[in-house]
Amino acid sequence: METDALQDTLETLVTTLRVTLRTELTSVWLPIQFGAIALAAVAAWAAAAAIRKRFDLVSVTMGWPSYLRIAVRALIDNFGVLAFMLILGVARTAIRTWATYPRTYILGIAVDLATAWVVIALVASLIRNPFVNRVVSLTAWTIAALSILGLLDDTVAALDARAILIGGIRVTPLLVLKTAVLLSVALWAATATSNFLDRRVQHVPGLTPSIQVLAGKLIRIGVMTVAIIIVLSASGIDLSVLAVFTGAIGVGVGLGMQKIVSNFVSGLILLADKSIKPGDVISVGDHFGWVANMGARYTSVDLKDGRELLVPNEDLVTQRVINWTYSSDLMRLDVRFTATYDSDIHKTHEAAIKAAMSVEQVLKTPPPACHLTGYGASSIEYVLWFWIKDAATGPTGVRSAVMIALWDTFEREGVKLPKPGPAHIVVDQPK
């Protein structure tokens, strides 16, 4: 049955083309129409070249809304086709007015195709994604061309005549093409919609960064799911038929993608319990940095040296991670130093605190503290504790400023550092 339907459809297409070509090829109007088309194309090309040379798009559209600028740019890019359409339309009207029994079938097709091209180009110019733009433009113009030629119904019937059954679903070339085009457009629209909603969520006051990221991910997943369901329903696919099939695929994919699923779920857990969120200062192993972005599979940690550490979300859940800003943005830093035995202990203690207090980034509350930690072979060992408020600015610069202040203060107060000096100042790095 399906083979007979396909043969009938093809025979109808061949018959239609044969009749049309026989009618046009045996008429004297055929070279006249092609000549008019060629002259209109040359005139339109010359007009478009002159317009592009004299029209400064940037200066004219300065300050216009973005979508209006895009539409004007598309209009200028297709000015040649627009001029071709207008010139050919005027020529066709003139022939039909002055000639007796004229034949302008080919001219009408050319005008209609040019009109469809311009309209589709202007509409597709609003789609900024290049791939989706090409898919929409090619699909729309193909449908328009087939409709103008009167072949749309026959082509649809031919594409729908041959089918195979997969899991109770009748799969035809028409179904594949329709689903592919609709899915591309729907995913583009879903992505644009989710990005817009995500930006709105980012500006909602009162939401923490982790809740903002979590809400953005849930919105994206929900919009994508709705888009896919709408496309499948519009394509005529019974979703109940896919239940067993997708269940089997889900089990297989789940077994083969355990790590990916684990990282995705771990990311949602991190965002939900707020243990780690964008902007936190964390230590992972020997690395110290700032959480820059939390993705579906990994978390990006900016090490502030040009590198970004990509940590799988599962590692942040299952392994030990130090979050310096989990409950407070206060961060305590340590500087260890030594002084000679002939330096007064109390004076050294006071000078160290005074040096720390002189640095602007060091907090006055809680105040810095200096402790004697041991008696060495040739010097007394001390540790200076002090707090900074914004851990995200980094401890290295503040620690360096405190060590310079220690040196200057000890010089003024007469506190002596043992020789050689640089070997006796030890800096504790965050673990």
Cα angle 430-340-360, degrees, rounded to a multiple of 5: 45
The single residue listed with the structure tokens 């997969």 is 166
Q: For residue 371, what pLDDT is reported?
A: 92
Distance CA 326, CA 210 (A): 12
List of domains in the chain:
2-161 (no CATH), 164-256 (1.10.287), 270-323 (2.30.30.60), 331-427 (3.30.70.100)
Q: What is the DSSP string of 173-220?
A: HHHHHHHHHHHHHHHHHHHHHHHHHHHHHHT-TT--HHHHHHHHHHHH
Q: For residue 1, what pLDDT is reported?
A: 46
Q: For residue 407, what pLDDT is reported?
A: 92
Nearest in space to 323 (alpha carbons), one of 296, 361, 284: 284
Residue 293 CA to its chain's centroid (Å): 13
The single residue listed with the structure tokens 């328009």 is 144
Q: For residue 424, what pLDDT is reported?
A: 47
Q: For residue 135, what pLDDT is reported?
A: 76
Global pTM reads 0.46
Q: For residue 127, what pLDDT is reported?
A: 73
Distance CA 9, CA 202 (A): 55
Per-run averaged pLDDT (10 residues), the chain, 431 residues: 53 60 60 79 81 67 68 74 81 77 75 81 75 78 79 76 70 79 81 84 72 78 84 71 58 63 79 79 82 82 83 86 78 88 90 91 89 90 87 74 92 85 49 45
Cα angle 280-282-286, degrees, rounded to a multiple of 5: 160
- H or E element, residue 107: helix 105-124
